[in-house]
Each structure stands twice: as structure tokens, then as C-alpha cells.
Amino acid sequence: MLQTKLLIIGSGPAGYTAGIYAGRAGIAPLLIEGIQPGGQLTTTTEVENFPGFPEGIDANELMDNMRQQAERFGTKILNNIVTKADLSVQPYRIWLDDGEEIHAKTVIIATGASAKYLGLQDEQKYMGQGVSACATCDGFFYRKKVVAVVGGGDTACEEASYLAGLASKVYLIVRKPFLRASQIMQERVMNNEKIEILFETNTLGLYGEDGVEGAHLIYKKGEAGERKYDLPIDGFFLAIGHHPNSELFSSWIQTDEQGYIITEGETPRTNLPGVYAAGDVADPHYRQAIIAAASGAKAAMESEKYLKDNE
């Protein structure tokens, strides 16, 4: 059994920044990396909008730097996954994949968010064989090929624009008759001659022998003018939003109807004393590394204060 004053769960910008701040405060926190060390940012390439890097920085390098910085100040990082939690009593109890039990006086939940899928069986069938939820990770494989992106938000527009730089043609499959994305992203997509928007269109399934060769689509589902047709494509990218990774804690921690952890005003405080939420798991709006990092700093400062007040 391990004991710690502060357990940080997650290794994205929120988790590592919490580690840096808590480490510098002399707390020597324990940080559990989770399934995706470095978090969602490691699925992208270049980060151009993180302050301090005027020429941009490789996303993996940025996360590796944050990790080293956290370790430098005494954060102990475990490459493991949290499988169970009991936040009903203090100290809070957490179990890891290998059965190890951790008792923590304070906890920072920085477990991030994961990409959503449509829920089609074919998504599983063709996973890694034409189906992806990360254009910047997998776009390279679709040079001069035809791809489709599902979604009408900023992510979908960003991914479609990125893919248009590689692929010969990009279809944007949008279920509504309009895009939800910001004006600038809409314009970028509409002005790109490689991108064709298929409004009021849903995906029924995918087909192909050894990988995706096309999608079964339906136009104006359930309305006059409904039409089913097949669209030949080589790649199918999901960009329909994310869901917060809060399930493990939802028996004790208040979440909204989408599962985002509810925090108190501008603070990272949850409904439990000494338990904080930082980064995308508590942020349905911004989803930015810099904002996650800032909330990680706040959570570490709150934990430090709580530990002092309850010594």
C-alpha cells in the first residue's frame, strides 16, 4: 500500500503542471500516468499556440519537457492505470491495474477527455484500418487519397483543413444543414476547394475488403427526399466531440449531464474536500493545453492550502 499527501491522476498538461506546482511546494506528489502518457496532445504534431515557443514545439517534446519539470521538483510518476476508486472516506483510496492500493489525503483528477465515436459496429471492425479519431496522427497515411471527416464543429473543420493538405479530396459529413464551427473555421473549410461538405447526411456503415473502401450514407434521414447512397473513401475520421473520463469517480463526484466534473466557480474544487478536478475532465468549453495547465496549477495550490489547513 502506498500513502501520499497528493495523488495526481493523469499526465496531460493539467496533471504535469499540478506536479510541477505541488513539487515546488514540497508536497512530493504521486502522479499516475494513465493509458495515454502525455495525454491527448501526444496525438497531435506541432503545437503553435503554447506561449513561450515562438516557432512552435513538437507536442511530444512539450509533454516530455513538462514531465521532466515535474520530476525535477520531486513528483513521483508511475506508469500505471487507475482501475478503481473509493472516495467515500478519507484518506481517499485508489487502486491501480496491478492491484496496488494508494491512500491519498488530497486528489487531483486530471484524467482528460476521449474522442467520441458514432457507435457503429463498423468503426470497431475497421479501427486502424481506415477509421481514426485523430487526423494529425493518421493523416499521413492518406496522402493523395480520399477521406471523410464526420462532424460540424471546430474540431471537424480543423481536421478537414489539415487533411486537405494531404489528401486529394475531403468530404465533411455534417448531420445538420449548417456547421456549428466558429466563423473563421467555417470560412476556411468553405474556401478550400478540396473540401466538399455533405450537409444533412448521416453514416449508416462502412464497407471494404481489407480496410475502408467506402461509407454507406443517408441524406435527409426520415424526411421527404431521403436518399441512401455509397461514397467511396479510403479513410473515415471522427470529429464529433469528446467525452470526459470521469466515470471512475462519478459515484462521489458531481458531474453535469455530459459527465464533466462540476467545479466551484473559477476554482478546481469539487464537492469533496481535498479533491480537485483540472483540465478537460472539467472543461466542456475550451479544451486547450494552456487552460488545462493553468487549472492544474490552481488545483496544486488548492491542495497545498488544504494540506496546511488540515495538518
Question: Catalytic residue positions?
Answer: 134, 137-138
Distance of CA 226 to the CA centre of its chain: 34
Taking CB under 6 A as the rule, does residue 241 contact ligand NDP? yes
Pick from 153, 188, 243, 297: which binds ligand NDP (CB under 6 A)? 153
Which DSSP state fits 260?
Answer: P
Nearest C-alpha neighbor of 238 from the set 43, 58, 59, 57: 43
Residue closer to ligand NDP by CB (options 118, 297) is: 118
Residue nearest to ligand NDP as judged by C-beta position? 153
Which range binds ligand NDP by CB under 6 A, 28-36, 126-134, 147-155, 163-171?
Answer: 147-155
- The Cα–Cα gap between 154 and 136 comes to 14
Query: What is the dihedral sign for C-alpha 199, 201, 205, 208?
Result: negative
C-beta of 176 vs 228, nearer to ligand NDP = 176
Q: How far is CA 122 from CA 149, 170, 207, 308, in A?
A: 15, 20, 8, 53
* Interaxial angle between packed helices 154-164 and 183-190, expressed in degrees from 0 to 180 and rounded to the nearest 10: 30
Does the protein bind ligand NDP through residue 200 (CB under 6 A)? no
Interaction between residue 154 and ligand NDP (CB under 6 A): yes
Number of residues that bind ligand NDP (CB under 6 A): 16
- Please say whether the beta carbons of 214 and 207 come within 8 A: yes
Q: Which stretch binds ligand NDP (CB under 6 A): 31-39, 151-159, 244-252, 273-281?
A: 151-159
Among 9, 240, 248, 277, binds ligand NDP (CB under 6 A): 240
- Is the Cβ of residue 77 or residue 239 nearer to ligand NDP in the bound state? 239
Binding of ligand NDP by 244 (CB under 6 A): no
In the DSSP assignment, the letter for residue 128 is T
- Strand (E) or helix (H) holding 292: helix 289-309
Cα–chain-centroid distance for residue 286?
Answer: 11
Q: How many CB atoms lie within 10 A of CB 50?
A: 16
Nearer to ligand NDP, 135 or 166 (CB): 135
User: Least CB distance from residue 113 to ligand NDP, whole Å?
Assistant: 9
Considering beta carbons, is residue 176 or 227 the nearer one to ligand NDP?
A: 176
Query: Could you say whether residue 259 binds ligand NDP (CB under 6 A)?
Result: no
Q: How many beta carbons lie within 10 A of that of residue 176, not counting itself?
A: 10
Q: List residues near ligand NDP by CB under 6 A.
A: 118, 150-156, 158, 175-176, 180, 240-241, 285, 287
